[in-house]
Amino acid sequence: MAAPREAPERRPFGRRFLTDPARLFQHNAWDNVEWSEEQEASARSKVQENSSQLLPQDKQEEYEVNAKRYWDDFYKIHENGFFKDRHWLFTEFPELAPNRNPSQNGDSVHEFGNKEESNNEGLGSCENGHCSLETRGENQLNLIKITPKICAKDLAAQKYSELNHSDGDYPGSSASYRILEVGCGAGNTVFPILQTNNDPGLFVYCCDFSTTAVDLVQNNAEYDSSRCFAFVHDLCNDQSPFPMPDKSLDVVILIFVLSAILPEKMQCIVNRLSRLLKPGGMILLRDYGRYDLAQLRFKKGQCLSDNFYVRGDGTRVYFFTQDELDDLFTTAGLEKIQNLVDRRLQVNRGKQMTMYRVWIQCKYRKPAAPPL
């Protein structure tokens, strides 16, 4: 008989939803919002409706084959003007900050994004099926200093040809703390880390499926090749090389990335990333949860398979449960440190709109090597 599932974790801190409409629009956001049975039933009904008509198999294959082109087009259109700088990173993931405390677990995590949101009316944005959670804070980094410098694909090929892992000769080989962000986009995670964490032993790798996205990172005025290495990488291709050897990373970051991948390929990808971690290293994830606003907004004819959709621009997105993510990480040999759901209410006071967001945040650690 299978062991019973653990009860879902809830955030230990957070402000509760205010039901008084007069007070509601004086505030921007509430975290740890409790959903009523009626609200959850309504969300389930909307998902059943918008997934009742699946795209034909030939169209699904077309979106898979052309996935890179769709993401390249996305970044050509938006550059780095859509997803905002993730200033909440160091509150939610102190492992990325200076004076990190590796023993800190997820139980103290709270106030996701509240500091930014309290200073801004926007509360994220939804465009073409992309719903971003970040907002532009008062101290937003200036990431749009782009000059035509180098081609990501050419640089990656040159660097790979110079690598010799067996001799320890690879970018960041002398670093004492190595972070990899997978799906780096235009650098909205990488650059806050580099600017905030001045640890001389830090080295940050970042990769993306999109050549256009990696070009944006490499051509940014903040890009420092002595502390960072950006490269194009296809996670779904087992033969696509990483610039670092197995068991060399302290942290792997997955922020709204795993959800963009074909569900049947997710396990192999998590397995590969797990092999890159040192014993004691961690994967940090933030991604879309089941019944998020973005899922409920899809129309009939955009569903590829259960909880997996294609947006109007051809990019795809999956909506997770906690159990699904736990299965992926534990099957890869990682142990759970944190797996929580964050149900939030966001309010656009200008438009007097309420938006219910659902995200899942996880931390999973590679077991420490047994003593000899």
Residue 353, domain CATH: 3.40.50.150
- Expressed as residue numbers, the domain containing 318 is 21-94+171-366
Cα gap 231→184, rounded to integer Å:
10
- Is 147 part of any domain? no
- Is 305 part of any domain? yes
- Is 13 part of any domain? no
Please list, in sequence order, all residues whose beta carbon lies within 8 angstroms of the beta carbon of residue 5, skipping any fewer than 6 positions away: 323
Report pLDDT digits (tens) over 177-225: 999 999 988 888 999 999 889 899 999 999 998 888 899 999 999 999 9
Question: Residue 68 carries which side chain, given as an amino acid letter?
Answer: K
What pLDDT does 112 receive? Answer: 40
245: buried, middle or exposed (CB in 10 Å: 19+, 13-18, 0-12)? middle
Does residue 231 contact residue 207 with C-beta atoms inside 8 Å? yes
Report pLDDT digits (tens) over 304-347: 999 999 888 888 899 999 999 999 999 999 999 999 998 888 77
Does residue 209 contact residue 181 with C-beta atoms inside 8 Å? no
Cα gap 339→273, rounded to integer Å:
18
What pLDDT does 372 receive? Answer: 60
Whole-model pTM: value is 0.76
Q: What is the mean pLDDT of the chain?
A: 76
- Is 142 part of any domain? no
| Alpha helix (H) residue ranges in 135-240 | 152-162, 190-196, 211-218
Residue with tokens 């944190």, as numbered in its chain: 338
Cα gap 85→136, rounded to integer Å:
7
- Is 152 part of any domain? no
Within 13 Å of residue 307, how many CA atoms lie on the same side as its CB? 16
Report pLDDT digits (tens) over 137-166: 323 333 333 333 444 444 444 454 444 454
- Is 201 part of any domain? yes
- Is 44 part of any domain? yes
Does residue 288 contact residue 296 with C-beta atoms inside 8 Å? no
**Structural domain count, the chain:** 1
User: 324-357 as b/e, with b when 16 or more CB fall inside 10 Å?
Assistant: ebbebbeebebebbbbbbbbbbbbbeeeeeebbb
| Alpha helix (H) residue ranges in 96-210 | 114-117, 152-162, 190-196
- Is 143 part of any domain? no
> And the tokens for 327?
């299965």
User: 134-148 as b/e, with b when 16 or more CB fall inside 10 Å?
Assistant: bbebeebbebeebee
Please list, in sequence order, all residues whose beta carbon lies within 8 angstroms of the beta carbon of residue 342, skipping any fewer than 6 positions away: 11, 31, 32, 112, 289, 357, 358, 359, 360, 361
| Best CA proximity match to 306, nearest among 37, 8, 50 | 50
